[in-house]
Structure 1
């Protein structure tokens, strides 16, 4: 690597934000620009993958569930072409199974929505290997149940019928549970 490339890596503040919630995307883009990032917004997996193919970003904030697919595809693409990038996953449907999967595919952190710009900045710029302090409040019984259902759902490759069969639950009941946000 030449000196110019090394200097570029240290000063590269390009940030790809992929989220299909347009108002959230615009607010986060403005907030991150005010913190010194050069923001590249994308509203879909396709747009995110296109941006990655043109110029892989140094940082990325990617929503997990998008209208045209899974945001983890964008994380994986970034990691393939730019292994030094720092990407985090945002989701309104947070669970342990998808967090583990996101980290395996190259995300450095996983945040549940609503996350503010300061939390996102802290996650993007945290030292590699830095330990996260444990939560002050343990999960509720409803949350533990929800996490278990999500874990089985991911194990079944997001197949509702197979998940319902394994959990000995009616398929429609499972669909209602999956459509709701995670309990606190």
Structure 2
């Protein structure tokens, strides 16, 4: 990170940031990286902890994972926008799709990043204004990876029922079984 980015954060009147993710190693790494960039970070690993942090002291910025053990991170985004409409929040997810991206933006998120996102991407998304959008990622997920993630998400939502997942994806059951048996594409 450069000095102008440091100065941009230090010039902010409120540098509070909520980082909400249930992947603890990622949560701690991102929190430390954002602290080094000048933010005052609060960490949370559940929707209930995130909502409690927002109610206690609404942050100026938030980085929220979409799928958490006890619910959906969109609930935290919605609450944050309710109590602090000027807050800038972004959604992080490994299960990205257009419908959830649209919902996140409608609820007040300023950006939607696919995991794995690094601290520089998160910082750029938080600091981007309406005129200058964050630059596209250097290594975005491949189309095969996006397809695989979507299939995995539907499979999990169908309680790992192959027949039901195949029906919902309009795919032959054996084809789905072959896809599920393979490793995730890069």
Uncovered stretches (5+) of structure 1, i.e. residues with no partner: 1-9
Q: Return the match for 2:67 from 56, 65, 70.
A: 65
Normalising to structure 2: TM-score of the pair?
0.73
Q: Give the alignment's Cα RMSD to 1 decimal.
A: 3.2
Q: Return the match for 1:39 from 38, 41, 48.
A: 41
Report how far residue 159 of structure 1 moved. 6.2
SS in 2 for 1:11: coil
Work out the number of aligned pairs and report it.
166
Report Cα offsets for 1:13-33 as digits up to 9, x if no partner: 000000011111111111111
Report how far residue 171 of structure 1 moved. 11
Mapping 1:117-156, distance limit 5 Å: 117-131=119-133, 142=144, 145=147
Normalising to structure 1: TM-score of the pair?
0.74
- Answer whether contact 1:18 1:48 (CA < 8 A) is retained: yes
Given the superposition, is the C-alpha separation of residues 144 and 111 from structure 1 closer, same or farther in structure 2, using an over 3 Å criterion? closer
Q: Return the match for 2:16 from 14, 24, 38.
A: 14
Report how far residue 122 of structure 1 moved. 0.7
- Answer whether contact 1:14 1:37 (CA < 8 A) is retained: yes
- Answer whether contact 2:125 2:133 (CA < 8 A) is retained: no
Q: Which residue of 2 aligns with 1:83?
A: 85
Given the superposition, is the C-alpha separation of residues 65 and 33 from structure 1 closer, same or farther in structure 2, using an over 3 Å criterion? same
Report Cα offsets for 1:86-130 as digits up to 9, x if no partner: 000111222222212211111101111111111111100011243
- Answer whether contact 1:97 1:150 (CA < 8 A) is retained: no
